Structure 1
Amino acid sequence: MRVHFHGAAGQVTGSMHLVEIAGRRILIDCGMVQGSPEAEAQNFAPFPFDPARLDAVILSHAHIDHIGRVPRLVMAGYRGPILAQSATAELLPIMLLDSAALQESDAERLNRKRKPGQPRAMPLYTREDVQGILGQVRPLAYGPHPGILPGVDLVLRDAGHILGSCSVELRGEGRVLVFSGDLGMKGTPILRDPEPVPHADLLLMESTYGNRNHRPRPETVQELGEILDAAWRDGGNVLIPAFAVGRTQELLYWFARHWDDWQMARWRIFLDSPMASKVVQVYDHHHGLFDAEARAVWRQTPSPFRLPNLHVTQSVEESMAINRIHGGAIIIAGNGMANGGRILHHMRQHLPHRQTRIIFVGYQAEGTLGRRLVDGARWVRIHGHDVQVQAHRHTVGGLSAHADQQGLLEWYAAFTTPPPVALVHGEDLAREALAGEIAARHGVQALLPRPGMQAEV
């Protein structure tokens, strides 16, 4: 068994790992690189392998940095099955169609500004391209799936990151390869805890927060309530960049849980996302994947997705109208790293105002607008305009969808025998710190792969 590291090796986004096993070639994830324009240009590069020679694609979950180049893979000749947990399979077209629409819109805007002699901007793929791949998607339940290919067995385990997220276990040639996928925090609302894995001959493990621990969740939730109360007293609006799947649902969950003590009825809450209502339907189809507490909350009044003051906007006109509201609004919009999507329009309008508060509830990759704001930038450029930042900024790390260092180490320690491990899906500072802790506690020297490296199992 051999693993080729082609993405998220030394960075967080662009997950893509090629596994050769029992004479077959399986790609785990095919994610989009996110960050600076230079980083995102990598998405247009040819794949470092022949897509037509792949036998299967397995997706760990539905975030764009894990699925965002699947249409491109099919455009390049891949014709085999796309295997995904059933909730992921249902989220996949929603996420990819939204991604394609944003890319088409960005290309159109760039072409309007194109100077004579400049090449036309092209989207990475179109909505038509996305429709063309859906017949290859094969939904699977959590659990064992023997014989997905001759000599290859698959096990999908709940990773507790977002709805449908998986740790991927491949068995063949008498060996076991495990890819952690993105691991969630224990006790995350709505989701079940990450499932432990008993054995691996090689583990590919995420390391996004390998160098830090999150604030305890009760303190984080209290902080969120205090930020909202301060924002109300200031008379401004609250902006929350959040991906449509994951943090958005948790935020609405906490709004419902604290409806009375946070006085949530006084706010106008906007979920400014064309795909939000579709994602809500997916969650409603998969209550069986919720933890027990979340199932109980969903039966209460108000339920998280049916708050009486929640407005789910669809059209561009509805989104633009939100910016005529100068106080008392909570605006949740994509994308979560403020690197595209509707949140940019709201930031352009609201960042110059001192009464505005912006809350970051997820990881901000290097090179993104979200990262620059978290790092304290006083001026940012949005859609070609220089925007002064006077808004209050808050980073609420305890709401992260990713396990922190302690959570990663606890999950690793659950293996019967500590396996050899390659740390992926993390920047170097994070994975070096996690590698040091694994070595100190278990005597295992972690591999820190770069794109193009290989590992034998």
Structure 2
Amino acid sequence: MHVEFHGAAGEVTGSMHLVVAAGKRILLDCGMMQGSREAEVRNADPFPFEPKQLDALVISHAHIDHIGRVPLLVKRGFAGPIFIQQAGGELMPVMLLDSASLAESDAERANRKLRPGDAEVVPLYTRKDVERAMRQLQPMPYGTRREILPGVEIAFRDAGHILGSSITELWADGKKLVFSGDLGPNGTPILRDPETIGEADLVLMESTYGDRNHRERLDTIHELGEIFAQAWQERGNVLIPAFAVGRSQELLYWFARHWDDWQLSRWKIFLDSPMAAKVVSVYERHTDLFDADAQQVWKGKRDPFQLPNLRITESAQDSMAINQVQGGAIIIAGSGMANGGRILHHLKHNLGRDSTHLVFVGYQAEGTLGRRLVDGAQWARIHGRDYRVNAKRHTIGGLSAHADQRGLMAWYGGFTAHPPLVLVHGEDKAREALAGEIGERDGVQVRLARPGMVLPV
């Protein structure tokens, strides 16, 4: 068995690792590169392997940076089974159809501006491509060990990152590989803690926050309440860029928990996402995967998805109407890094007001508008026009859906014999810090994955 690293190997997005074992070729994730325009252009590049020669695809979870190129992989010839945890399998088409719809709209908009002689802009893939790819899904429950190909077995364990997120165990050629996928922090609301794995011959572990520790979640929740109080006093709006899966549901969970403390009944609350209602439905069908506290909240008098002043807006017309609200609105909209989606329209209408509070609740990758705003940019270019930034900015690190340095070290510490470790899904600064800490504590040499690197198990 050996592993070839082709994505998220020196960057956070674009997860893609090829396992060759038992005479078979198994791809772990097929994610989209996100961030700068240059990164996103790379999504159309040829795959560094022949898609037709792949025997299976195994998906860790349904975030676009882990699944976003799957329809393209199928379009270019991959015809094998796609394995994913059951709840993740329900989220996957929701996410990909939204991605395809955006790509089609962007292409249509660009083609309207073509000059004579310009080449037509073609979307990376279409909704028909997504529908074709989804016929190859083979969902699996957590905890079931299954032979997916002759001589190759896998099992999914709960990674605690988003609904259906998985740690993948893979057995072949007498060896065991463990791929963490994205790991959630212990104690995160709604989801259970990541499962501990005891044995492996090689571990691939994410390292998004390998160089830092998050604030205590309770401190973060207190800060969020203070932001709402200040914004209400200033008669402003609160804008929260957040991904439709994971962070949006957690925010609504905290809204339900602190409904009275934060006086949320006086606000207009918008979850502005065309896929939000579909995602909410998937969550409601899988409350058995929630932790004990969340199950009690959902049984209580305020279902987070049924708050009395919550409006989930699906149509473009309803979304545009939100911008007529000059104050007293909490607007949660994608994308989480403000590099696309409906949040851009709300930013255009609100960034110039000093009463606006812009709240970042997740990781902001290099090259994204979200990262530039977090770093203090005074102007924001949106849809070809520059907008002055007068809004107050808040970075709420304690709501991250990723484990921090302590959490990553604790999870790896669950392996009994300190197996060889490769860090993926992180920028070099974060990976180097985490590699140093683990190497010093456990005496293990930690490798940093690089594109094209090949490693035997």
- TM-score tier, shorter chain, comes to over 0.9
Give me the whole-angstrom Cα distance separating, in 1, the residues matched to 2:258 and 2:147: 47
8 Å Cα contact 1:162/1:191 also seen in 2: yes
Name the counterpart of 1:453: 453
Q: CA RMSD in A?
A: 0.7
Three-state SS of the structure 1 residue aligned to 2:447 is coil
Percent identity of equivalent pairs? 67
Deviation sequence 1:309-343 (CA, Å, 0-9, x none): 00011111100000000000000001101111000
1:402 corresponds in structure 2 to: 402
Aligned residue for 2:31, secondary structure, equals coil
Indicate if the aligned counterparts of 1:144 and 1:153 stay in contact, CA closer than 8 A.
no
Of 419-428 and 120-129, more deviation after overlay is shown by 120-129
The aligned residue for residue 429 of structure 1 is 429
How far off is 1:9 after superposition? 0.2
Letter in structure 2 aligned against 1:425: H
| TM score, norm. by length of structure 1 | 0.99
The residue identity in structure 2 corresponding to 1:115 is R
Matches within 5 A, 1:381-420: 381-420=381-420
Q: Which residue of 1 aligns with 2:216?
A: 216
Match of 1:182 in 2: 182
Taking the TM superposition and a 5 Å limit, the aligned residue runs for 1:242-257 are 242-257=242-257
Find the aligned partners of 2:175 and 2:383 in 1 and give their Cα distance.
50
Where do 5+ consecutive residues of structure 2 fail to align? none
Partner of 2:368: 368
Matches within 5 A, 1:67-78: 67-78=67-78
Q: CA offsets, 1:398-448, max 9 Å, x none?
A: 000000000000001011111111100000000000000011101111111
How many equivalent residue pairs? 457
Residue in 2 aligned with 1:157?
157
SS in 2 for 1:447: strand
Distance 2:387 2:93 in 1: 34
Q: Specify the code of the residue in structure 2 equivalent to 1:305.
A: F
Partner of 2:326: 326
Q: Is the 8 A contact 1:210 1:405 kept in 2?
A: yes
In 2: Cα distance, 1:331 partner to 1:277 partner? 15
Query: Which runs of structure 2 are paired with 1:220-299 in the superposition (5 Å)?
Result: 220-299=220-299
| CA offset digits 1:129-178 (Å, max 9, x no partner) | 11111110011000132311111111110000000000011011110101
Alpha-carbon distance in 2 for matches of 1:119, 1:372: 31
Supply the distance in 1 between the matched residues of 2:246 and 2:413 (Cα, whole angstroms).
26
SS of equivalent residue, structure 1 residue 144: coil
Partner of 2:134: 134
Gaps of 5+ in 1: none
Partner of 1:147, secondary structure, is strand
Distance of 2:168 and 2:46 partners within structure 1: 26
| Deviation of the 1:109 alpha carbon | 1.5
Residue 200 of structure 1 deviates from its aligned partner by 1.0
Q: TM-score, normalised by structure 2?
A: 0.99
Tell me the CA shift for residue 116 of structure 1: 2.5
Distance 2:350 2:123 in 1: 29
Which string of whole-angstrom CA distances, capped at 9 and with x for unpartnered residues, describes residues 101-132 of structure 1? 11111111222222332222111111111111
Aligned with 1:433: secondary structure? helix
1-side partners of 2:426 and 2:35: how far apart? 13
AA in 2 matched with 1:25? R
Whole-angstrom distance in 2 between the partners of 1:432 and 1:244: 31
The 2-side partners of 1:82 and 1:148 are apart by 10
Shift of 1:302: 1.4
> Structure 1: which 4+ aligned runs deviate by more than 4 Å?
none
Deviation string, structure 1 residues 279-321 (Cα, Å, up to 9, x no partner): 1110011011000110000011211000000001111110000
1:304 aligned partner:
304
